Structure 1
């Protein structure tokens, strides 16, 4: 069964850092906070701020776990609502981009 995505602009996801965070989370089950921070090359506080906005929208959840050394680590996962919102937002960006592309010439004429 093929599922279709309805394009929908999402202002929460659209912010560049949050768009990147969602993009990193889509292909995985969960990611450790430090990996997100380091991949994007941003500070802990900036990462936290954007994850909090995504969490308040219901798009991500986080959990803390202790490592074998006892050090706590935060793990982040995209919720089903977050996956849906990201997919719809990407579909909307693709739809808008297609409008901006010049029409291709008819090769039969």
Structure 2
């Protein structure tokens, strides 16, 4: 899903169009910090409808970047979300690519 040049030395190689969509970027950021979060908490934090969040999570899951765990808690089915190892790596690579875009290059010595 990456849109970079493919050259591992190129900081833009980590730019990922799947993660770059604003809501998916925010989902990844939240899950990166939390480790795992309940669907309803992510929904509340991002101010998204359940259906909109579900669509974005599905895109991340289809890319192998996120996974969900379902369990019963307080007699209700709950869903927890987390990034996969691949998702963590893709998110970190995307952040590095964004930094390369916005930070000025080091001046030549």
Alignment TM class, shorter chain as reference = 0.7 to 0.9
Q: How many residues align?
A: 97
Q: Which residue pairs with 1:3 in the alignment?
A: none
Question: Does residue 1:84 correspond to 2:89, yes or no?
Answer: yes
Q: Which residue pairs with 2:64 in the alignment?
A: 58
Q: CA deviation at 1:61?
A: 0.4
TM score, norm. by length of structure 1: 0.82
The secondary structure found in structure 1 opposite 2:79 is strand
Q: CA deviation at 1:29?
A: 2.3
Q: Which residue pairs with 2:29 in the alignment?
A: 23
Q: Which residue pairs with 1:43 in the alignment?
A: 49
Could you tell me how far apart the structure 1 residues matched to 2:35 and 2:101 are? 29
Could you tell me how far apart the structure 2 residues matched to 1:96 and 1:28 are? 26
Runs of 4+ residues deviating >2 angstroms: none
Which structure has the bigger radius of gyration? 1
Q: CA deviation at 1:28?
A: 2.2
Q: Which residue pairs with 1:33 in the alignment?
A: 39
Could you tell me how far apart the structure 2 residues matched to 1:28 and 1:80 are? 14
Q: CA deviation at 1:98?
A: 1.5
Could you tell me how far apart the structure 2 residues matched to 1:24 and 1:54 are? 13
Unaligned runs of at least 5 residues, structure 1: 1-5, 105-109
